[in-house]
Amino acid sequence: MCSSKIRKKRFSFGNKKATVGIIFFAGMIMAGSIAIGRGKNDDHFVNLKVLPKSIGSKQLSQIMVDDFSDGLGVSCSFCHVEDKNSHRLDYASDDNPQKNVARSMMKMTLKINKQFFDVRRPLIGDSILVVNCISCHHGTAFPYPPE
């Protein structure tokens, strides 16, 4: 009787070029799927009443800096209150009355641009706006009529 040994083949990385190619290809697939996932707007901001709910973080930051901070010469705490527990700004809170004033002012500028300057779809932060915060505020929080 012959006894034959059965050999099990082990997986080997014998062909290094093929192995590197497979690893590289798998990495490219993973990177591509991550990039596609980032293409979506995953930003979720709470309590937006005038600005679009689908606004991205880059656009929102640009509006807050260019329109409000520069236009009114104020910082974030002018409209946003501090959370008592975390000591961070609570952007969703409506506890500061200045936040509702800012909303009214945004609505007013949109209406002025649409009604008097024929801007068909005015959006806060859009460069086509003729009237914006700085038009009246000139870098001050409370614009006063000229003397």
* pLDDT digit string (tens) for the chain, length 147 residues: 555 556 555 555 566 676 666 776 666 677 665 655 444 555 689 999 999 999 999 999 999 998 999 999 999 999 999 999 999 999 999 999 999 999 999 999 999 999 999 999 999 999 999 999 999 999 999 988 766
Q: Are residues 65 and 128 located together in one domain of the fold?
A: yes
126 lies in some domain: yes
pLDDT at 2: 55
Please tell me the distance from the alpha carbon of residue 64 to that of residue 75, in angstroms, as a whole number. 9
Structural domain harbouring 76 = 57-137
Is residue 50 situated within a structural domain?
no
Contacts of 1 (CB under 8 A, 6+ apart): none
Q: Which two tokens stand for residue 15?
A: 């062909």
> Could you give the angle at the alpha carbon of 125 between the alpha carbons of 90 and 75, nearest 5°?
40
Nearest-angstrom CA–CA distance, 67 and 51: 13
Assigned domain for 76 exists = yes
